[in-house]
Amino acid sequence: MSRPTPVHDATGPTRPPTTPARAQGSAHAKAILLGEHAAVYGAPALAVPLPALTCRAEVTARHGGARGLVGLSCTADPQGVTAPVSPPPPGLVSLVAAVLRRPGAAWLHGVDVELSSTIPPARGLGASAASARALTRALDRLLGARMSETEVFAHVQLAERAAHGRPSGIDALATGSAAPVLLREGRTSTPRVGTEAWLVVADSGTPGSTHEAVAGLRLRFETGPLERERFLSASTTVVDRGLTALADGDLEELGRCLTEAHHLLSALGLSTAGLDSLVTTALEHSALGAKLTGGGLGGCMIALSASRAASARLAALLTRRGAHRAWTARVEAGGPA
């Protein structure tokens, strides 16, 4: 079916009759199981979706007035209060500008954006990538552009580069994937999960900064290239062992890999006293393994459990022992045979 031709008036092209005046898009949180930071240097990383924590974007078309991202408001849990965000994050401004430059978008002068998110920001759970993905999806629907997943990914990465410099792409991928994601040297695949597993995600209550963590590590590695090589090699080994354990359904070995990964990240100064204390508490109380997740320097940790009941008990315990909040998430069995 041919697309309706936009009508032109004195101020430029107007909205094609079949396109909506507003549209929505959504994305979810993610947790990095293994390989954060090493992923920035092309080493493998493994992330799982956290579909219970979501970000929704609603975009409303503007005709005339300012161009690009005109107004941004955000509703964040747990308060549920909507507040304007001014100035809007540069990454989202660049994203909207890039989408508005697409062929067929000339009728769209600018947009107002409303984000509603239950993903806590600056906690290593992919809040910035999820908001960029939700916004890209909403703009895609508004324009009827039918972007491919590659195009959506490129727009999320554009926003992520503004947010934290050199994103590997693992957050941009995992916030839109229903299954676990493996990223290795820029290529994506779905790992096999041999048996169901449960994660506890616990918030240390202190914000982390991925930008600061990634930039700090880059500086550290510039003066210590040997440390960089050792870290990348050890991280790759632990991810590969973790992948085999995940495929075999060997949760005890997977847990050991998580804890080893925490020690690797902690040795680089990426953990905090709060994260270390939650990791230790989890390991002393039934967790098969535990580690910080995401950029570190604050934010969240994850712990591995073999059952829903064990993860619920551990989440409650971590909340009593200093976690600001805790969630449980199922990692479903499946993936390629």
Site string for ligand MEV, 204-243 (x = CB under 6 A): ------x---x-----------------------------
Q: CB of 35: closest distance to ligand MEV in angstroms?
A: 7
Least distance to ligand MEV, CB of residue 229, Å: 17
Paired strand residues for 304 = 199, 289
* Choice between 28 and 37, CB closer to ligand MEV: 37
Which of 23, 27, 29, 32 is in the footprint of ligand MEV by CB under 6 A? 32
Q: Which stretch binds ligand MEV (CB under 6 A): 6-14, 37-45, 98-106, 142-150?
A: 37-45
Active site (annotated) includes residue 240: no
End-to-end C-alpha distance for the chain, whole angstroms:
39
Catalytic residue of the set 9, 77, 112, 171: 171
User: Looking at beta carbons only, is 214 or 254 nearer to ligand MEV?
Assistant: 214
Contact between 168 and ligand MEV per CB under 6 A = yes
Q: In the set 39, 243, 279, 314, which binds ligand MEV (CB under 6 A)?
A: 39
Instruction: Provide the minimum distance between the beta carbon of 292 and ligand MEV in the complex, in angstroms, as a whole number.
Output: 10
Candidate residues 171, 203, 250, 260; the one interacting with ligand MEV per rule CB under 6 A: 171
Nearer to ligand MEV, 32 or 156 (CB): 32
Site for ligand MEV in 285-314 (CB under 6 A): 294-295
| Cα–Cα distance measured from residue 117 to residue 119, given in angstroms and rounded to the nearest whole number | 5
Q: Exactly one of 170, 173, 326, 329 binds ligand MEV (CB under 6 A); which one?
A: 170
Q: Which is nearer to ligand MEV, 164 or 256 (CB)?
A: 164
Q: Please tell me whether residue 158 binds ligand MEV under the rule CB under 6 A.
A: no
Residue 304's nearest CA partner among 247, 243, 259, 241 is 259
Does 120 engage in binding with ligand MEV (CB under 6 A)?
no
Q: What angle in degrees, to the nearest 10, is found between the helix axes of 90-100 and 149-164? A: 150
Question: What is the spatial distance between Cα 26 and Cα 178, in angstroms, rounded to a whole number?
Answer: 13
Binder of ligand MEV out of 15, 19, 27, 37 (CB under 6 A):
37
**Closest residue to ligand MEV using C-beta atoms:** 168
Least distance in Å: CB of 268 to ligand MEV?
11
Q: Kindly report the three-state secondary structure assignment for every residue of the chain.
A: CCCCCCCEECCEECCCCCCCCEEEEEEEEEEEEECCCHHHHCCCEEEEEEEEEEEEEEEEEECCCCCEEEEEEEEECCCCEEEECCCCCHHHHHHHHHHHCCCCCCCCCEEEEEEEECCCCCCCCCHHHHHHHHHHHHHHHHHCCCCCHHHHHHHHHHHHHHHHCCCCCHHHHHCCCCCCEEEECCEEECCCECCCEEEEEEECCCCCCHHHHHHHHHHHHHHCHHHHHHHHHHHHHHHHHHHHHHHHCCHHHHHHHHHHHHHHHHHCCCCCHHHHHHHHHHHHCCCCEEEEECCCCCCEEEEEECCHHHHHHHHHHHHHCCCCEEEEEEECCECCC
Minimal distance, residue 278 CB to ligand MEV, in Å: 18
Q: Which positions from 5 through 24 interact with ligand MEV, judged by CB under 6 A?
A: none
Residue 171 beta carbon to ligand MEV: minimum distance, rounded to whole angstroms: 5
As annotated, the active-site residues are 171
Which residues are at the interface with ligand MEV (CB under 6 A)?
32, 36-37, 39-40, 124, 167-168, 170-171, 210, 214, 294-295
